[in-house]
Amino acid sequence: MLLSSDDSENEFDDPQLVLTRYKKARYEAALSCPHNYLRACQELIELFNIVAGPAAGRVKKPLLAELSADTRLAIDCCDGVLRNATICRSLVSEAVRALPQAKGKELQRLLKARSLKAAREDSKAIRNSQQHDVAPAVEQMPHDILGAVLDELDPFSLAAAACASRQWHEEASKDHRWQPFVAAVLSPVSTPQQPQSWRELFCQAAVGGHARMAYHRSRRRMLRKTLLWTDLPPCREAPDFKCVTPRQVATFIVKGSIKELSDSEDSEGDDDASAVSGLHRDMAPAVNRLWRTFPASCKLALPETALDTGQQ
């Protein structure tokens, strides 16, 4: 669709160069981590879109081979997350339109087998959890274990746990547990040496809305929605990159020039400059910073909403 306007003046680039740029985008790496999956699929869809167009010429054949290989990978990598499953389905339907019939059929078969398997695993997991997750007899948990568990908690969760049962209340109200929290919130100057009760002191600070408490509070909210984003490397979902749509990336890969960016219908005015610079940076040698990378422990905690970048 994008091509219709400018394919008369823009010949497609040399196939070799196109393939190099495609390799640089490292889709195989992006597809294998769930948090990059969506964006990678969107860009692949746009690529299919362009290649399926009327004027694809000699780029078409080598690029389609790569694309179908990556689509197969996408089907393999698709995890249980609904968002990813949906985009995977639309990627396959896009692929079916672009690829020769036999190959398209094969991909569809693969997708079907894969989703059947996923559904089976799902229902098995649900059955298992229903079987096992009958109220455990935590009632008689020994004091020292409960104490060790409560020691791991932040003050807000600790206070909530204290309301759960008598034993938990007794254990959670033990005063030594609250001393470090007071130390974290109040400055040493304003802290009395030997207060009546550390817990009381902390409660007062909390009710009084102490300044450092506000920080703890919002941090807790963030933690509940999980993950702090600030200290992560720049990536495709970073704000300065959001203005580059998947289509622009796809156009860049196929045509090799950024000129189309200003022609493309959905970027205009101020966005252009940042879009182009973002793309430049993105296609620069530091390609391994293209996609968001996480330490393994963060993966499970990824919130759904934070990943919906909402481009286009």
211 binds other proteins (CB under 8 A): no
Asked if residue 224 binds other proteins (CB under 8 A), the reply is yes
Q: Does residue 134 touch other proteins according to CB under 8 A? A: yes
The values of phi and psi at residue 166, to 5°, are: -65, -50
- Residue 68 C-beta: closest distance to other proteins, Å: 32
Out of 188, 196, 300, 312, the only residue in the binding site for other proteins (CB under 8 A) is 300
Min CB(171)–other proteins separation in Å? 12
Site for other proteins in 135-154 (CB under 8 A): 135-139, 141-142, 144-145, 148-154
Amino acid at 58: R
Terminal CA-CA length for the chain: 15
- CB within 8 A of 227, min separation 6: which ones? 298, 301, 302, 303, 306
Answer for the pair 311, 41: CB distance below 8 angstroms, yes or no.
Answer: no
State the DSSP H helix or E strand holding residue 110, giving kind and residue range, or none if neither: helix 101-132
The answer to the question of residue 306 lying near other proteins (CB under 8 A) is no
Would you count residue 163 as binding other proteins (CB under 8 A)? yes
Q: Comparing C-alpha atoms, which of 108, 34, 27, 109 is closest to residue 73?
A: 27
Question: How many chain residues touch other proteins (CB under 8 A)?
Answer: 45
User: Shortest Cβ distance from residue 202 to other proteins (Å)?
Assistant: 9
Smallest gap from Cβ 30 to other proteins, in A, equals 20
Cβ proximity of 22 and 68 under 8 Å: no
Residues that bind other proteins (CB under 8 A): 129, 132-139, 141-142, 144-145, 148-169, 203, 206-207, 220, 223-224, 295-297, 300
